[in-house]
Chain A
Amino acid sequence: MMADGYTGNILRVDLSEEKVSTEPINREWARQFIGGKGLGARYLFDELKPGTDPLSPDNVLSVWTGPLVGTMVPLTSRYVVITKSPLSGTFLDTYAGGYFGPELKYAGFDAVIVKGKAPKPSYLWVNDGKAEIRDAKGVWGKDMFRTEELLREEVGHSTARVAGIGQAGEKLSRIAGVTSDITRNAGRGGAGAVFGSKNLKAIVAKGSFGVEVPKIEEFVKMAKHMLKTDVVDNPEHAGLVTDGTPIIVDMSQDAAILPTNNWHSGQFDGYQGIDSDALKNRVFVRKKACFGCGIACGSWAKVKDGPFKGSSTEGPEYETLGLAGSNCGIMNIEAVVRFAEDCDRLGLDTISAGAAVGFAMDIYEKGVITKEDTGGLDLRFGNEEAYAKMPEMIAERSTRIGDLLAEGALRAAKAIGKDTEKLVIHSKGSEYPAYDPRGSIGMALAYATSDRGADHNRAWPVASDAYGDGDPWSTEGKAAICHEEQMMKSYKWSMIFCDFYGVSPENMAMYYTAVTGLPADADWLKAVGARVWNLVRAFNVREGFLRKDDSMPERMETEPLPSGKTEGKSVSRAAFDEMLSEYYKLWGWDDEGRPTKRTLEEAGLQEILGELDYLK
């Protein structure tokens, strides 16, 4: 092992042939793309045939760490699942914190690349440089709480880390995520269904190899200093330390962008039942951190009495409180804890599941679906009892509506017809996270141009326009924010930092050098970011995505919000198109949103030019 943060090894798994092998990491690509998102994207671009059905054995499923993961660099404990999304059909990178990422590295691998389909349900056991494909019959059909427990027993390590799927992924739900450390989820885009399609229940890791860096004593000194000054004492992290993401509920209510009753309002009368105070006063047990994090934004929550007594989860986080709370008309944090726990257990993305249930409630109230479709449930907005049964119905595909929603809200609407498609708030089939663009116009662009379908973790203009002192309805500067942030997040996710570490580019470069021994500065990181974002865009273009797919749902224009600061507000199509055109120009893409030859060359992507038909 070189002392440069990398283990140097990739674990190759061919499930069809039931073979595992180890190969050295491509060092040239590692220098160009670092790890995580970037390096994973480079391998996927190379190894996935365009047009592949995401749920076929030909899809490539990979799990990536990065050179910083498992070191003492704060807030880099993450891993990312990279594959083609069964929900959006785009490139998919979906992340989770917890402890699994570092453990995979300690077990000797920077990444695992899985191909084919196992002849029977299987799991992968990775331990100190070795791996084996094992029979998963003891855990197939079991939820992820139970699965973790049983697999730890099977491998004989009570502290082994487990990333896997619940019933939702097994049943190929396109909104199934990967659950690790029981409550940490690589949730978005349907990565769980890709596991399921390969008959892969879980990856179990335990390792004692450790991670080495060039100058450990200097490194520890630096890391101690940074942990204190840049993490613990950093005022930017204060809200995360005291409250975590639930603090955003009140901010969104005030800005009137809190999705409510399937996006029919930006304000929720019952918001105080699901906000940070509700969490702290009613269900909070203790603060919980991911590996190597001095912030501990997570809260372990448990319901103490009432109909949801005994339910527990880590969170619920803001997105869950928004989509699975206010957007379903649910004003009881205890019900949301139950919903979130079930999503963790069953392996469902709380954003997509919450959005799907909100959509179902909307069409139930409109009479499009009835109790015949819902297994007798009175699926009105705010009906906690019916709501709490939905994750299981989706994961198990029981009842007509459960089976339909397992495909994601858009596919469900298409199957139902009757003009319900316009009620689904999404881009590229990926349900919107919990920031209404009608009070943060920049988010319309951020969602439309997110590489994995609508998402909040690629650019977050809402910070300045709705929560800050910017103008929420002016298009000015919004394209620039998206361009700038997507570039930054592209290298931040390649390293792989947590979103919540307000780390400067200069410090990221400093960490990179301390871990790898290689030179870096903020400009170099920007170049990596541009390379990664253009590569992923090229991937999506190769899959057939064009300007028409960088879309905004019709209701954002036609249905003004009813109350508060966003009363009467909507997003005009012309304003949206104007931002999009400006955005393409900033990235050096043509009018269809395709990176030009020159842009790709400048980004150092000469070697993929031949793969792109539109350049021929």
Chain B
Amino acid sequence: MSKGLKADVEKCTGCQICAIVCSAHHTGKFNPSESRINVLDMFPEPGEVKLNYCIHCDEHPCVEACPAEAIKLNEELGVYYVDREECTGCGACVEVCPYDGCWMDPSESYAIKCDLCGGTPQCVEVCPKGVLKR
């Protein structure tokens, strides 16, 4: 059982409020390109919205792939996060993730992924349509 966010993506309107608040929380700016949740509005075809984020899977291949051991366990929550200070930006985690759950920051210098905001995911709190659940 993964410990990450659950999404009822059929209800998602693509408003990006999750990504807006995520970027504010993690970077101090409104900047969806630095968000840990990625909203893809795919129109006209297939006419869907896709949400990418780390689902905190049990296998966590990113942890094993990281040569710098920069993906660390938050013991309290039981989920892994990227330690930005130790991340070398090699991108191994991005390549190995089967869920498109992590990606490079726009600066290309380190990887970013959901850390559940230390236990109170901001996106879950703000989603106006109740798409996201913890």
Q: A210-B27, A220-B24 are in contact. Are A287 and B13 (CB under 8 A)?
A: yes
Among B15, B30, B33, B34, the most chain A Cβ lie within 10 Å of the Cβ of B30
Bound complex: CA A296 to CA B129 (Å): 9
A97 vs chain B, min Cβ distance (A):
11
Bound complex: CA A288 to CA B47 (Å): 10
Does any Cβ of A come within 8 Å of B68's Cβ?
Answer: no
Which A residues are in CB contact (< 8 Å) with B15? 289-294, 296
Is the Cβ of B17 less than 8 Å from the Cβ of A216? Answer: no
Is the Cβ of B34 less than 8 Å from the Cβ of A210? Answer: yes
Is the Cβ of B27 less than 8 Å from the Cβ of A292? Answer: no
Once A and B bind, how many residue pairs between them come within 8 Å at the CB atom? 104
Q: A209-B31, A296-B13, A296-B129 are in contact. Are A183 and B43 (CB under 8 A)?
A: yes
* Residues 290-306 (chain A) with a chain B CB within 8 angstroms: 290-296, 298, 300, 302
Which A residues are in CB contact (< 8 Å) with B28? 212, 216
Does any Cβ of A come within 8 Å of B126's Cβ?
Answer: yes
Does any Cβ of B come within 8 Å of A527's Cβ?
Answer: no
Is the Cβ of A213 less than 8 Å from the Cβ of B17? Answer: no
Q: A159-B40, A213-B30, A224-B21 are in contact. Are A286 and B10 (CB under 8 A)?
A: yes
Bound complex: CA A212 to CA B34 (Å): 13
B10 vs chain A, min Cβ distance (A):
7
Which A residues are in CB contact (< 8 Å) with B17? 72, 74, 227, 292-294
Residue of A nearest to B10 (CB): A286
Contact of A211 among B30, B48, B106 (CB under 8 A): B30
Does any Cβ of A come within 8 Å of B60's Cβ?
Answer: no
Does any Cβ of B come within 8 Å of A25's Cβ?
Answer: no
Which B residues are in CB contact (< 8 Å) with A291? 15-16
Bound complex: CA A102 to CA B33 (Å): 11
Does any Cβ of A come within 8 Å of B4's Cβ?
Answer: no
Does any Cβ of A come within 8 Å of B29's Cβ?
Answer: yes
Which B residues are in CB contact (< 8 Å) with A298? 13
Contact of B128 among A71, A72, A227 (CB under 8 A): A227
Which A residues are in CB contact (< 8 Å) with B34? 208, 210
Mask, B1-41, CB within 8 Å of A = 1, is: 00000000011011111001101110111111110000011
Among B40, B48, B126, the most chain A Cβ lie within 10 Å of the Cβ of B126
Q: A72-B30, A210-B31, A224-B125 are in contact. Are A300 and B47 (CB under 8 A)?
A: yes
Which A residues are in CB contact (< 8 Å) with B125? 224
* Residues 205-243 (chain A) with a chain B CB within 8 angstroms: 207-213, 216, 219-220, 223-224, 227, 231-232
Is the Cβ of B21 less than 8 Å from the Cβ of A72? Answer: yes
Contact of B44 among A99, A145, A211 (CB under 8 A): A145
Is the Cβ of A106 less than 8 Å from the Cβ of B31? Answer: yes
Which A residues are in CB contact (< 8 Å) with B20? 71-72, 292
Bound complex: CA A119 to CA B129 (Å): 48
Does any Cβ of B come within 8 Å of A312's Cβ?
Answer: yes
Which B residues are in CB contact (< 8 Å) with A183? 43-44
Is the Cβ of A106 less than 8 Å from the Cβ of B33? Answer: yes
Bound complex: CA A296 to CA B11 (Å): 11
Residue of A nearest to B23 (CB): A210
Q: A220-B25, A227-B17, A232-B128 are in contact. Are A208 and B31 (CB under 8 A)?
A: yes
Bound complex: CA A71 to CA B10 (Å): 26
Q: A288-B13, A294-B15 are in contact. Are A212 and B126 (CB under 8 A)?
A: no
Which B residues are in CB contact (< 8 Å) with A72? 17, 20-21, 24, 30
A230 vs chain B, min Cβ distance (A):
12
Bound complex: CA A293 to CA B29 (Å): 18
Which B residues are in CB contact (< 8 Å) with A289? 13-15
Contact of B47 among A208, A232, A312 (CB under 8 A): A312
Bound complex: CA A298 to CA B129 (Å): 14
Bound complex: CA A346 to CA B38 (Å): 30
Which B residues are in CB contact (< 8 Å) with A99? 16, 41
Extra 9 A-B pairs, beta carbons < 8 Å, given A72-B17, A289-B13:
A74-B17, A106-B32, A210-B33, A213-B30, A220-B21, A289-B15, A291-B15, A294-B17, A296-B13
Q: Could you list which residues of chain A lie within 8 angstroms of chain B, going by C-beta atoms?
A: 70-72, 74, 99, 102, 106, 145, 159, 181-183, 207-213, 216, 219-220, 223-224, 227, 231-232, 285-296, 298, 300, 302, 312, 314
15 sampled A-B residue pairs with Cβ under 8 A? A70-B30, A159-B40, A183-B43, A207-B33, A208-B31, A208-B106, A208-B107, A210-B34, A212-B28, A213-B30, A216-B28, A286-B10, A288-B41, A292-B15, A294-B128
**In the complex, the 8 A-B pairs of residues with the closest C-beta atoms, listed nearest first:** A210-B31, A294-B128, A208-B106, A210-B29, A289-B13, A289-B15, A296-B13, A208-B33
